[in-house]
């Protein structure tokens, strides 16, 4: 019987990027609508007939700037990952990141307000910079870490559903036992998925793909994540079987079914399970030796 979580992930993967973009667009649009109404109601109490378009412009420009900076926060988290082991040394980096986020947010949103006011037939004047930056940073540091927590929470849920792999620990030596030969190449991996654990043989790995702080292992139609870089992990695998074919991809040669040459010397690898892996010209010799692809 197929695993429901795996079936759900298989349907979700082709639409993952659209879902992620749509989620942030929906969140920011809700912010624009609710904050515009609340701000206008507050201002109308002191100034009846206050123009509604002004708080709308404020919120659109502010949230548009935030939306432009969300990928930067995700990149910054990959560069300085927040884990229990890295929290003490990386938290200060993210405090600095929140300052940069605030400066960029303020700069972009005010730059957008000048043309917006001009189109509305009005003139925009920026508030006092020192007080404005203090006020905006008190809001932006909360926004920065709220976005960060959302990214980490989303990734945590995907990891639990997809499964996270790790190299099995070597068995402990008992007193009196002869020293065991060092094993540089793991033969199998332990995968944790939804509170279940099972083993995956190294020879069953079809291809590998770098994914930020993780490495994706494609095994028998399923994808598991391993906390490692592609370079470090390939050093542990049999070089006669596993070769790098792209800056972000490697394959098990035993699982390659067909090599399809492309223009410019690149290629597309068709795996035996039907999946496809890009092969760049730089790494093609690992597959076909010194003879280049035709064309």
Nearest to 52 by CA among 37, 33, 35, 31: 37
Q: Which residue has the higher pLDDT, 193 or 118?
A: 118
In 3D, which of 224, 158, 218, 214 has the Cα closest to residue 190? 224
**How much is the average pLDDT of 121-149?**
91
Q: Are 134 and 92 in contact (CB under 8 A)?
A: no
Q: Which two tokens stand for residue 142?
A: 């909360």
> Does position 198 have pLDDT exceeding 80, yes or no?
no
Q: What is the pTM of this model?
A: 0.64
Mean pLDDT throughout 272-277? 85
In the structure, what pLDDT confidence band is assigned to residue 165 with cuts at 50, 70 and 90? low
Q: What are phi and psi of 182, to 5 degrees?
A: -65, 135
pLDDT band of residue 180 (cuts 50, 70, 90) is: very low
| Average model confidence (pLDDT) across the chain | 81
pLDDT above 90 (res 287)? no
pLDDT at 83: 76
The confidence score (pLDDT) of residue 37 equals 94
97: which 2 tokens? 């990141």
Question: What does the pLDDT read at residue 226?
Answer: 78
Question: For the residues of 195-256, what is the DSSP string, one character each?
Answer: TEEEEEEGGGEEEEEEETTEEEEEETTEEEEESS-HHHHHTTS-TTTEEEEETTEEEEGGGE
Q: pLDDT tens across 235-270, in order?
A: 888 888 888 999 889 999 888 888 888 887 788 888
Average pLDDT over residues 15-36: 93
| Residue 211 clears pLDDT 60, i.e. is over it | yes
Of residues 65 and 199, more confidently modeled: 65
Count other C-beta atoms under 10 Å from residue 119's C-beta.
9
Q: Is the pLDDT of residue 100 over 90?
A: yes
39: pLDDT strictly greater than 50: yes
């Amino acid at each position: 019987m197929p695993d429901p979580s795996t079936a759900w992930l298989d349907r979700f993967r082709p639409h993952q990027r659209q879902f992620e973009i749509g989620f942030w667009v929906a969140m920011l649009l809700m912010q624009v609508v609710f904050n515009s109404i609340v701000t206008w109601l507050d201002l109308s109490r002191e100034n009846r007939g206050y123009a509604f378009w002004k708080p709308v412009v404020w919120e659109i420009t502010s949230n548009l700037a935030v939306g432009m900076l969300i990928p930067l926060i995700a990149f910054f988290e990959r560069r300085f990952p927040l884990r229990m082991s890295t929290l003490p040394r990386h938290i200060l980096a993210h405090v600095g990141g929140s300052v940069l986020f605030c400066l960029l947010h303020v700069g972009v949103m005010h730059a957008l307000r000048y043309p917006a006011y001009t189109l509305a037939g009005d003139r925009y004047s920026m508030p006092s910079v020192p007080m404005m930056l203090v006020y905006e940073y008190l809001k932006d540091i909360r926004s920065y870490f709220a976005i960060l927590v959302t990214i980490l929470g989303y990734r945590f849920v995907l990891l639990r559903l997809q499964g996270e792999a790790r190299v099995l620990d070597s068995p402990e030596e008992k007193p009196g036992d002869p020293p065991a030969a060092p094993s540089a190449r793991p033969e199998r991996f332990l995968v944790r998925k939804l509170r279940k654990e099972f083993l995956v043989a190294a020879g069953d790995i079809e291809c590998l793909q770098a994914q930020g702080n993780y490495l994706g292992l494609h095994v028998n139609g399923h994808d598991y994540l391993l906390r490692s870089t592609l370079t470090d992990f390939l050093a542990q695998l049999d070089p006669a079987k596993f070769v790098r074919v792209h800056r972000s991809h490697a394959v098990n040669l035993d699982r390659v079914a067909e090599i399809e040459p492309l223009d410019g010397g690149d290629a597309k690898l068709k795996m035996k399970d039907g999946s496809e892996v890009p092969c760049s010209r730089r790494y093609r010799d690992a597959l076909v030796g010194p003879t280049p692809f035709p064309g």
